Amino acid sequence: MADTPSESIDVTYVADLARLRLSPEEIATFQKQLGDVLGYVSQLKEVDVSQVSLLGEADLKNRLRADALQPSLTAAEALANAPAQDNNLFVVPRIIE
Partner 1 sequence: MTSLTIPELRQKLSSGAVKSREVVDQLAARVAAVDPQLKAYLHVDADKSRTEADKADVSLPLGGVPIAIKDVINVKGDPCTCASKILQGYVAPYDATVITKLREAGAVFFGRTNMDEFAMGSSTENSSWGATRNPWDLERIPGGSSGGSAAAVGGHEAFAALGTDTGGSIRQPAALCSCVGLKPTYGRVSRYGLVAFASSLDQIGTFTKTTEEAALLLEIIAGYDPRDNTSIDRPVPKYTAALGQGVKGLKLGVPKEYFIEGIDPEVEKAVRAAIDEYKRQGAEIVEVSLPHTKYAVAVYYIIATAECSANLARFDGVRYGKRAENAKDVLDMYGRTRAEGFGAEVKRRIILGTYVLSSGYYDAYYNRAQKVRRMIAHDFRQAFKQCNALLTPTSPTAAFKLGERTQDPLQMYLADIFTIAVNLAGICGVSIPCGFTSNKLPIGLQIIGPKWGEETMLRVAHAYEQATPWHKEKPPL
Interacting residues with partner 1 (CB under 8 A): 1-5, 9, 11, 14-15, 17-23, 26, 29-30, 33-34, 36-38, 40-41, 43-45, 47, 49, 52-54, 56, 59-60, 63, 65, 73, 77-78, 80-84, 90, 92-95
Rounded to a whole number of angstroms, the minimum distance from the CB of residue 88 to partner 1 is 13
Whole-angstrom distance, CA of residue 55 vs CA of residue 5? 22
DSSP helix/strand/coil, 85: strand
Q: Identify whether the C-beta of residue 46 lies closer than 8 Å to the C-beta of residue 57.
A: no
Rounded to a whole number of angstroms, the minimum distance from the CB of residue 86 to partner 1 is 13
DSSP 8-state code for residue 7: S
